[in-house]
Chain A
Amino acid sequence: MRRVVVTGLGMVTPLGSGVDATWSRLVEGQSGAGRITDFQVDDLACQIACQIPRGDGTDGTFNADEWMEPKEQRKVDPFIVYAMAASTMALRDSGWEPKTYEEQCATGVLIGSGIGGIGGIYEASATLIERGPRRISPFFIPGRLINLAGGYVSIEHGLKGPNHAVVTACSTGSHAIGDAARLIALGDADVMVAGGAESPINRLSIAGFAACRALSTNFNDDPTRASRPYDKDRDGFVMGEGAGIVVLEEYEHAKARGAKIYAEVIGYGLSGDAYHITSPSEDGDGAYRCMAAALKRAAIDVSEIDYVNAHGTSTPLGDELELKAVERIMGNAAGKLSMSSTKSAIGHLLGAAGAAEAIFSILAIRDGIIPPTINLDNPSVETAIDLVPKQAKRKEVNVALSNSFGFGGTNASLILRRVS
């Protein structure tokens, strides 16, 4: 199998537009959470979210007009705009601009989303009911479809290789990167633009996730403290939005063009819980098996893992189950492991979460800095694992593992390693 490396990174998150703005604020321990002001929330159980800071593009703000023409933005849900922005950032970062027909055909796209254009579907439903079918835009369907994120990106950059999309709820971003890496490993493409994008902050989504009892509701007056993985006062996740995109590349292809190489994707594991539609299996077996599958593929010893970027959503049940599964797989090596949940700072980006968190894992390798689990005042359980409470930590990271688990019992783990 061919080796696959990461040569470009791009992201739009509640901490900022771009990798640098997001990473510096993440390491500082900032929170992206705040009260929702874009729509009526007074009748919603959850009134907070981690929203992308919008502005003119300076100081880490997100200016959509820099990434997609206003007339095109109007046709699509924001997840597509975020995907366009993060993909362009990642491609620029990688320096890869396919120009010849052969280069274009060897470059593909695999961008997923958990629920795609739910905001636009909600609005169009209201239009249909109130004003009838003749008022439904011809862009309604193409602007909501999950694979249209990849469609738009391929059109913008002339990428004619595999064009695929993943939909596995909160595991989407990890599955997208893992599957894209396999397409390169198997020779279907030399370069893949891969990741996830999500725009779920609207009345319908908040109401729906609140009905699942998945969202934090105790911190409406103190939003930056709401996402608190492993803390005893945690009461659910905080919705986020954004996109994380990486450029994956076959190792020799990257080397031949002198590309900067961030890390190698050495392991990818998948599993299913076969247990419940929203709850993780009580024994954490699904999480354990997907980490074990990724380790087997990576062909490394578990003691080589320096850092785990946890799924850690801040839900009462999920955090401890994942922690137990990580303790079980690490065995005697648990004592030297650091594991943090960056959802404490950016919230839960659903289908973009795994991709954003893979990028954080890569940056931990690059900089030797582990981002903190903010708001972790009082851990709900004792563990030998360092959960990196409140403050970032300097530590050499050669190997990082990133976990993502989704509704439906779908699990994915990625293992990334420094390329020396």
Chain B
Amino acid sequence: MSDVADRVKKIVVEHLGVEADKVVENANFIDDLGADSLDTVELVMAFEEEFNVEIPDDAAETIVTVGDAIRFLEKNAA
């Protein structure tokens, strides 16, 4: 697993209070990990913070699974 994936997973575990083994690539934040719409906004903010990147709202809307986040950040993070 890449460094980005590890860091994403850690943030998801911390923010959503879920077990690490549930944070798999195809896990949907809302359907599988119990997040609500506000949690997803905060998750995106946490990704921005961790990876020092700005995620525009239209891009944020496409990040619905753990894998989406990893792929976006691998591509866009410095």
Please state if A134 and B42 are interface contacts (CB–CB under 8 Å). Answer: no
Interface: A71 (CB within 8 A): yes
A71 to B48, CA, bound (A): 19
A 71-97 contacts with B by CB, 8 A: 71
- CB within 8 Å of A: which B5-62 residues: 14-17, 38, 41-42, 45, 48-49, 54
Closest A residue to B49 by beta carbon equals: A135
Assess whether B17 is in contact with A134, with CB atoms less than 8 Å apart.
no
Let me know if B45 and A71 touch, CB within 8 A. no
Number of B positions contacting A (CB below 8 A): 11
* B13 to chain A: closest residue by CB: A71
Q: Does A59 contact B (CB under 8 A)?
A: no
Task: Please classify the interface of chain A as helix (H, G, I), strand (E, B), loop, or mixed, using the class held by over half of its residues.
Answer: loop
- Give the distance in Å from the alpha carbon of A70 to the alpha carbon of B14 in the complex: 10
A258 on interface, CB distance cutoff 8 Å: no
> Within A132-173, which residues are at the interface with B (CB < 8 Å)?
134-135, 137-139, 142
B15→A134 contact, CB < 8 A? no
Bound Cα distance from A69 to B16, whole angstroms: 10
Query: Could you tell me if A134 and B38 are in contact, using CB atoms closer than 8 angstroms?
Result: no
Q: How far is the CB of B64 from chain A (nearest CB, A)?
A: 16
Please, how many angstroms separate the alpha-carbon atoms of A71 and B11 in the complex? 12
> Is A71 in contact with B16, judged by CB distance below 8 angstroms?
yes
CA distance in complex: A316, B45 (Å): 49
A380 to chain B, nearest CB (A): 52
Interface residues of A in 49-82 (CB under 8 A from B): 69-71
Q: Are B48 and A142 in contact (CB under 8 A)?
A: no
- In contact, A137 and B45 (Cβ under 8 angstroms): yes
Q: Which residue of A lies closest to B16 (CB)?
A: A71
Q: How far is the CB of A237 from chain B (nearest CB, A)?
A: 37
Cβ contact within 8 Å between B38 and A71: no
Contact B17 A139 (CB under 8 A): no
18 contacts between A and B (CB under 8 A): A69-B17, A70-B17, A71-B14, A71-B15, A71-B16, A71-B17, A134-B45, A134-B48, A134-B54, A135-B45, A135-B49, A137-B42, A137-B45, A138-B38, A138-B45, A139-B38, A139-B42, A142-B38
A interface residues (Cβ-Cβ under 8 A, vs B): 69-71, 134-135, 137-139, 142
Using a CB–CB cutoff of 8 Å, the interface residues on chain B facing chain A are: 14-17, 38, 41-42, 45, 48-49, 54
The 8 closest A-B pairs by CB, nearest first: A71-B17, A138-B41, A138-B38, A138-B42, A137-B42, A69-B17, A139-B38, A139-B42
